[in-house]
Amino acid sequence: MAHYTPLSAFLSRHFDHKVQKISVNAGFTCPNRDGTLGRGGCTYCNNQTFNPDYCATSESVREQLERGKTFFRRAQQKRAAKRGQTETVSGVEMKYLAYFQAYTNTYGELTRLMQLYEEALAVPDVVGLVIGTRPDCVSEELLDYFAQLQQRAFVLIEYGVESTSDASLRRINRGHDFATAADAIWRTAARGLPVGAHFILGLPGESADFTAAQAADINRLPLDTLKLHQLQIVRGTAMAREFVEQQEKAAADPSFRSDFHLYSAEAYAALVVDLLERLRPDLVVERFTSFSPKALLLAPDWGLKNHEFTTLVEREFVRRGTHQGSLWDGTTPSSR
């Protein structure tokens, strides 16, 4: 049994069949790049890292979903063949969630947004939406629409929060503070919508102690799911330039200390466990890592797959004899 609350626990609360997320790039842009909410974008962001191979922006939402369904069906058939089964899924019904992932998927005219979401839901076997967005880009009108939509489809809103530290958020040019993220999460949950959040662990200037202590603020938010990512330095980003500059300074001046701390896989697994021990046990932890394409990744290059990293986390829990919530202080989301 997992030592943390995995995504399957969340999915089984909402579905009585298997569901697979299919990433969709609906051609959105980002208000933190075009000057509407900010300029230059988040310093770590290179959107070339967002799209899986089956997801081409030249295709409509419907075409991308159909292509994704074919991709996952073939993968299922291969797995079934390996097990010596002739049936693709041995009678297990598979449904899909359209994952609006790239850029800011609530950035646009309401009618245009509604068209895109409805196009996804009209695809056979697509039973819901997962919508990734910025916390400063959700209007009351849009949230009301999502609340209505969830009467007939599953809807999960995922916010990029990234850190509870306003200093870190300023440094990475997020263009919003933590209070804005908390406000969006509360406004979404108040409508009965499931809410998720992304965090990057180990942003420049953040210590391991601070990273784990963020659990206290996270526990107070009405979140259902959490995605954790290690800090990755991606080529072509402002953060990559900052990182290289600091490395060059450190090479030239031994007294200079870079405040980038890139964890080894084992040290990052320990950091994840430090955080999870402090998290409330019902909060679903969907993932611990994200791996940018090798050609774009400057550092750290662990050469691991997701499931191999999960094994490191499990091993660390076993070594410590702990589990998610074993150091939880009992804090739960409370009214604002």
> Which spans of this chain sit near ligand SF4 (rule: CB under 6 A)?
30, 32-33, 41-42, 45, 47, 103-104, 134, 160
Q: Please state the closest distance from residue 41 (CB atom) to ligand SF4, in A.
A: 3
Q: Which residues contact 229 (CB under 8 A, 6 or more apart)?
A: 198, 199, 200, 201, 287, 288, 289, 290
CB of 160 to ligand SF4, least distance (A): 6
- Which residue, 136 or 274, is less far from ligand SF4 as judged by CB? 136
Rounded distance between C-alpha atoms, residue 65 and residue 105, angstroms: 16
Nearer to ligand SF4, 47 or 290 (CB): 47
Q: Are 153 and 129 in contact (CB under 8 A)?
A: yes
Give the CA distances from residue 298 to residues 110, 244, 266, in Å, rounded to whole numbers and listed in that order: 38, 10, 19
Q: Please, which residue, 5 or 32, has the CB nearer to ligand SF4?
A: 32
The residues, ordered by sequence, that sit 6+ positions from 54 with a Cβ below 8 Å of its Cβ are 22, 23, 64, 67, 68, 70, 71
For the CB of residue 180, give the shortest distance to ligand SF4 in the complex, in Å. 12
Measured CA distances, 78 to 20, 65, 93, 192 (Å):
16, 20, 17, 38
* Ramachandran area for residue 25 (φ above 0: left; ψ -120 to 50: alpha; else beta): beta
**Do 278 and 216 form a contact (C-beta atoms < 8 A)?**
yes
**C-alpha–C-alpha distance, residues 158 and 229, integer Å:** 14
Least distance in angstroms from the C-beta of 292 to ligand SF4: 12
Select 32 or 211, whichever has its Cβ closest to ligand SF4: 32
Contact 275, 210 (CB under 8 A): no
Nearer to ligand SF4, 103 or 199 (CB): 103
CB of 42 to ligand SF4, least distance (A): 3
Across the chain, which distance is largest between two alpha carbons, in Å? 64
Cβ proximity to ligand SF4, 196 vs 325, nearer residue: 196
Nearer to ligand SF4, 3 or 134 (CB): 134
Shortest distance (Å) from residue 35 CB to ligand SF4: 12
Rounded CA-CA distance 212/219 in Å is 12
Which alpha helices (DSSP H) does 2-135 contain, by range?
7-14, 61-82, 110-121
The nearer residue to ligand SF4, 30 or 313, going by C-beta atoms, is: 30
CB of 30 to ligand SF4, least distance (A): 3
Instruction: Collapse the DSSP code of 229 into the 3-class scheme (helix H, G, I; strand E, B; otherwise coil) and give the result.
Output: strand
* Minimum distance of ligand SF4 from residue 279's CB (angstroms): 24
